[in-house]
Amino acid sequence: SAVISQKPSRDICQRGTSLTIQCQVDSQVTMMFWYRQQPGQSLTLIATANQGSEATYESGFVIDKFPISRPNLTFSTLTVSNMSPEDSSIYLCSVMTGGSGANVLTFGAGSRLTVL
């Protein structure tokens, strides 16, 4: 399965600032996914990032708040813009690896953001 590196692993940010999270995969993948996990909650898909096209956002998430870049098949970034305390979450990057009749998500270790 793919190996995913995310950074930063954690950060403390001030209200109103923006932070960019990087996700690096050790192999080329078509789709990369960004999830949010709010404190004590499950995972919610933010968007799907495809190389060469704009990201596809899920309901409740917009590009102005969560701009995504996908410059090549092994890298993506997610920016959390104009942060507020409600944005304090773990943000996870993931990729789909196929085989055996079902695609499986592999996750990075996550980026834990705390907004003061």
Partner 1 sequence: AQSVTQLDSHVSVSEGTPVLLRCNYSSSYSPSLFWYVQHPNKGLQLLLKYTSAATLVKGINGFEAEFKKSETSFHLTKPSAHMSDAAEYFCVVSRAGNMLTFGGGTRLMVKP
Q: Which is nearer to partner 1, 14 or 100 (CB)?
A: 100
Residue 73 binds to partner 1 (criterion: CB under 8 A): no
- The enclosing H or E element of 6 equals strand 4-7
Nearer to partner 1, 5 or 81 (CB): 5
Q: Does 109 bind partner 1 (CB under 8 A)?
A: yes
Contact set for partner 1, span 21-40 (CB under 8 A) = 31
**Which residue in 46, 92, 113, 115 binds partner 1 (CB under 8 A)?**
92
3 is an interface residue for partner 1 by CB under 8 A:
no
Q: Which is nearer to partner 1, 60 or 101 (CB)?
A: 101
Task: Supply 76's token pair.
Answer: 């993506």
Question: Could you list the residues that contact partner 1 (CB under 8 A)?
Answer: 4, 31, 41-45, 48, 92, 96, 100-110, 112
